[in-house]
Amino acid sequence: MAVPKRKMSRSNTRHRRSAWKASVPALVKTVENGKTVYSLPHRARVVEDSQGNALFLEYKGRRVADA
């Protein structure tokens, strides 16, 4: 494990920490069976039955995995 050779000043530490910013995820809005659904682009989405139980994962209209 790397160990710093010298102590990092408070100013440098805070400057380094403040450079990282969280970004808002880009959501895609789709309407399915009269319900508005927001999902992340290029990610598999969960297909649920009428009770809300997860059935399988779907990507680009194809079944890719069991849930």
pLDDT at 32 over 80: no
Which pLDDT score, from 0 to 100, does residue 7 have?
94
Where exactly are the structural domains of the chain?
A: 26-66
Number of helices followed by number of strands (H, E) in the chain = 1, 5
Residue 15 backbone dihedrals phi, psi, to 5 degrees: -65, -40
pLDDT at 56 over 90: yes
Residue 17 backbone dihedrals phi, psi, to 5 degrees: -70, -35
Look up residue 30 and give its two tokens.
């789709």
Q: Which pLDDT band, with edges at 50, 70 and 90, does 52 fall under?
A: confident
Q: What percentage of the chain carries pLDDT values higher than 70?
A: 100
Question: Minimal CA–CA distance to 59: which of 51, 67, 47?
Answer: 47
Average pLDDT in the chain: 88
Q: How far is CA 52 from the centre of its chain?
A: 21
